[in-house]
Structure 1
Amino acid sequence: MLGLTALELARIQFGFTVSFHIVFPAITIGLASYLAVLEGLWLWSNDTVYRDLYHFWSKIFAVNFAMGVVSGLVMAYQFGTNWSYFSAFAGSITGPLLTYEVLTAFFLEAGFLGVALFGWNKVGPGLHFFATVMVATGTLISASWIVASNSWMHTPDGFEIINGRVVPVDWLKVIFNPSYPYRLSHMVVAAYLATALFVGASGAWHLLKRRHTRTARTMLSMAMWMVLVVAPLQIAIGDALGLNTLKHQPAKIAAVEGHWENKPGATVPLILFGWPDMASETTRYGVEIPYLGSLILTHDWNGRIPGLKEFAPEDRPDSTIVFWSFRVMVGLGALMLLLGMWSLWLRWHQRLFRSKLFLRFAVMMGPSGLIAILTGWYTTEIGRQPWVVYGVMRTKDAVSNHSALALSTTLIVILVMYFAVFGTGVSYMLKLVAKGPEEPGSKDARDESDAQNRRPARPLSAVPDLFDPGVGETPTGKE
């Protein structure tokens, strides 16, 4: 296929499935916590706008959660089909970590998800809120195990190699490896930021269309507060992760910066734009700011980092790709910070919901969090190359013995199926977002209310319960 080798096709196939999959868990993590906040605010304030938003976003959460589970199964199978030598070499560590994720997180989410989605008229408000919190907790636990497995591949620790295979000798060091806390916090905050931008774009869209005014204002206001808080926090976490990466994966930092060599007496400039040329070992057309690279990368005005020429050619990541993927991520992060600061200024002047220019910008920024997550993962994973387990196992030694024809065929099948199945799911989810919450008193809202009244209020009981969120009552059943 296009002259690509079996190794390149296996990497493309796994990269495609991961790219498709990671979008759904990111939204799942953020929406689960958002639903818990919405229900908590409703129970605390008795304001039905939070309840209405819960019902609206829970539908989107359910669709997104289902697509995340299905897309993740394909990715898991690829460890055995396309990367069997990696599984044989490091499966004693990655296998248990993924198993712990299923046992502690997936079962928790699955056990309480039904109550959270369908239990409004079947359990009391306290138990339903507990179920929602457990689903949100499950998503965070799931992220912690997945990130632990991936982080170990970047900064392996707590193991020995016996008879050509990895054997864990200290599980605490395996799990809490040197990059784990930075990667976990970076991923979770990224999920919250991406979800806030998604929710904020929905609210801004409906305000521009002059629909669902009260719920749209609440969505936009909550989202902008979140963006204002977590955007600068994410920048700080990213800086800490960069220092950690410089310590443990210096070749990646050199590739990200397009930095080839240290000249005598010179500091490291920050290359804003350029084109790293791997063949000629230089960054062409570079636009540089002297000293700033040293300050940002080492927190020292005169600090230095290793240049790519200090590493053997076969040990260098592809600087051309990671140089630009990193800059897309950072550029979007700067726009997110701008969005948050702009929202604060408009809120101060009581124009947050009336500035059409700001609302259009918020809509445009809707997918930016997910794009930043994708480009961040490309930077992380491509920057790790040529290692699958950094410094321990090369990627070319991890791939299964498949022909290029076999991998080309399966790649085409996956491309067609993913775009057909998940394209339909994403389209349906976006239609739900565009439709917005049901307005109180509308026919759809009355139909939903009637449907809730027809459902048993408790298991084995057909007696209506006073707790009926479909008719605008408070959690206590009183107006």
Structure 2
Amino acid sequence: MESSDPALMLARFQFAFTISFHIVLAALSIGLANYLMVLEALWLWRKRQVYMDLYKFWLKVFALTVAVGTASGLVMEFEFGTNWSALASRAGGVLGPLMFYEVMVAFFLEAGFIGVMLLGMNKVGPRLHFFSTCAVAVGSLFSAFWILSANSWMHTPAGFSVAADGRFVPVDWLQIIFNPSFPYRMVHMSIAAFLGTALVVGGAGAWHLLRNPRHQAARVMFSMALWMAAIVGPLQIVAGDLNGENTRDHQPQKLAAMEGSWQRPEAGQGEPLRLFAIPDQAHRTNDFEVAIPHLGSLYLRHDWTGTIQSLEEFSPDDIPPVAMVFFAFRVMVGLGLLIVALGLASLFLRWRGTLFQSRWLLRTAVVMAPAGFVAMICGWIVTEVGRQPFTVYGLMRTAHSNGQQPFSFVAGSTLAIVILYLLVFGLGFFYLMRAIGRLPAHTPGADETTAERREVRDVDA
């Protein structure tokens, strides 16, 4: 890991700080847009008022996340032109068009229909309104498509040539867009957005059910969220495994840091699963290591004795900060397994007919409401810190991507951003929790015994 000057380290902190806020809001916007599309489709299909009650309830939350999330994204665009102007100069021919497509295709698609979605419920027909909701949902995925394509290109660059002045020149746009890591990361990130949103929705539903166990709308949102965790959670494990194989083939230093693998095991010993360790980068070893022999080989190589490239096989200047990557990866995986366990537990309780009566499950769902987005942030730490010391992997170092702004400028802008973000996002979080904390519209008759039995049957079907 190469040393860096204070201005560079502060610029890296500034970008990490801003993207940590933005990625959560962007992912929540993607998840809520698609959740709203499903709710409105169910309302049009089944004509049950509870789905429209939930649509109106979560539409307010969606509007808030879009407004605050858009503002957070704009700040990062300015950071590219100031703190990372050298990267923008050399890689702008590739990254600029991809970001332009994101704005033109995705942002305008969302902006063009979000007004109808928010204000047109009683002013346009139900089919046109549903079309607007679908357009916003699709637009959110298009936005993720182009941004992840640009980010993935920096991890696995393809389809370019290098000009005499060092600029990256596009040669094959299909190779650039569909670079080797992009398909895996697009699937992995999309599922993460859906799961993170589902846990927030499920936590809100559980919170209201603890206060009113017979509230119809709360039952529906809680049930739908746990279906997502039960069905999509295991799929995320598969997507993560495929993404890991791609990392093994294209970014071996990152995978070695994730595993804390300093030395390649001897033939036949296999790669252990390190449950815990404290990586010591200075001495290139692990302290207090607790590992299970061979188990790492099963998920890394899908055999009993397979190994991966170890950190000792790379120059110390090309190795990322191992401890940060190592621990972030374990938090991400641990939370992912808890989400899968929550989904499986809900299936068992559905089978027993006690899904809404199990207070331990409701309390667990409330506690785990932020777990999906915490896991997502940890995943981004693994992805981005694990790419260091490069911005364009293997081709352009982070130290050479900096705009060489004076420390005073970076410090001043960082202080201003931190204060502004804490203020704006603090207020946004306050109003978000206030909106979620209010009970959804209660469908008349939902507390009647027959209606309750019908709701349980419909939701659990």
Q: CA deviation at 1:440?
A: 4.6
Q: Which moved more, 1:32-41 or 1:211-220?
A: 211-220
**1:143-154 to 2 correspondence within 5 Å?**
143-154=144-155
Once the two structures are superposed, what CA deviation does each residue of 1:228-282 show, in whole Å capped at 9, x if it has no partner? 1111000100000000000000000001100001143332111110101100100
Q: Which amino acid is 2:357 matched to?
A: R
Please state whether the residue corresponding to 1:299 is helix, strand or coil.
coil
Does residue 268 in structure 1 map to residue 271 in structure 2? yes
Query: Does the CA contact (< 8 Å) of 1:203 and 1:220 recur in 2?
Result: yes
1:320 paired to 2:323: yes
Query: Which of 425, 437, 450 is equivalent to 1:422?
Result: 425
The answer to whether structure 1 residue 367 and structure 2 residue 389 are counterparts is: no
d(CA) in 1 for partners of 2:408, 2:263:
40
Match of 2:39 in 1: 38
Counterpart residue identity of residue 327, structure 2 = W
Q: Deviations over 1:93-127 (max 9, x none)?
A: 10000000011000000001011111111110111
Q: Superposition pairs for residues 22-101 of structure 1, below 5 Å?
A: 22-101=23-102
Backbone CA RMSD of aligned residues: 1.3
- What amino acid maps onto 2:343 in structure 1? G
Residue of structure 2 equivalent to 1:179:
181
CA displacement at 1:212 relative to structure 2:
7.2
SS of aligned partner of 2:349:
helix
**Residue in structure 2 matched with residue 281 of structure 1 by the alignment:** 284
> Counterparts of 1:144 and 1:90 in 2: how far apart (Å)?
19
Contact 2:213 2:356 in 1 (8 A): no
SS of the aligned residue for 1:188 comes to: helix
> 2:198 maps to which residue?
196
- How far, CA to CA, are the matches of 1:308 and 1:153 in structure 2? 21
Equivalent of 1:245, from 244, 247, 259? 247
Structure 1 runs, 4 residues or longer, greater than 4 Å off: none
> SS at 1:384's partner residue?
coil
Deviation of 1:438 (Å): 2.7
CA deviation vs aligned residue, 1:295-354 (integer Å, no higher than 9, x gap): 111112111101101000000011100000000000000100110001001111111101
Structure 2, unaligned stretches of length 5 or more?
Answer: 446-461
* Letter matched to residue 47 of structure 1: R
Unaligned runs of 5+ in 1: 443-479
Match of 2:399 among 393, 396, 399: 396
Q: Which amino acid aligns with 1:71?
A: S
Paired residues in the alignment total 440
- Corresponding residue for residue 345 of structure 1: 348
Q: Distance in 2 between matches of 1:184 and 1:436?
A: 34
* Structure 1 residue 426, shift from structure 2 partner: 1.4
Pairing 1:104–2:102 present: no
The alignment status of 1:376 with 2:415, answered yes or no, reads no
| Amino acid aligned to 1:37 | V
Distance in 2, Cα, partners of 1:386 & 1:298 = 26
DSSP-derived class of the 1:388 partner: strand
Q: Contact 1:212–1:437 (CA<8 Å) still a contact in 2?
A: no
Q: Deviations over 1:215-236 (max 9, x none)?
A: 0000001110011111100010
Listed one character per residue, the Cα deviations across residues 55-87 of structure 1 (whole Å, up to 9, x for unaligned) are: 000000000111110000001110001000000
1:169 aligns with 2:171: yes
Partner of 2:156: 155
Partners of 1:93 and 1:395 in 2: CA distance: 17
C-alpha distance in 1 between matches for 2:92 and 2:398: 15
Shift of 1:210: 1.1
1: CA distance between counterparts of 2:436 and 2:202?
A: 11
| Letter of the structure 1 residue corresponding to residue 110 of structure 2 | E
CA contact (8 A) 2:216 2:442 kept: no
Cα drift, residue 51 of structure 1: 0.5
Q: Deviations over 1:17-71 (max 9, x none)?
A: 0001001110010000100100010011110000000000000000011111000
Q: Tell me if structure 2 keeps the 8 A contact 1:201–1:362.
A: yes
Percent identity at matched positions? 53
Aligned residue in 2 for 1:451: none
1:134 equivalent in structure 2: 135
TM-score, normalised on structure 2? Answer: 0.94
Match of 1:296 among 278, 290, 299: 299
Q: What amino acid is aligned across from residue 383 of structure 2 in structure 1?
A: T
Q: CA deviation at 1:158?
A: 0.1
Contact 1:212/1:439, CA 8 A, preserved across alignment: no
Q: Which residue of 2 aligns with 1:223?
A: 225
Q: 1:209 pairs with 207, 211, 219, which one?
A: 211
Shift of 1:406: 2.1
- For 2:413, give the aligned amino acid: T
Q: Which amino acid aligns with 1:184?
A: M
Cα pair distance change 1:225/1:68, threshold 3 Å: same
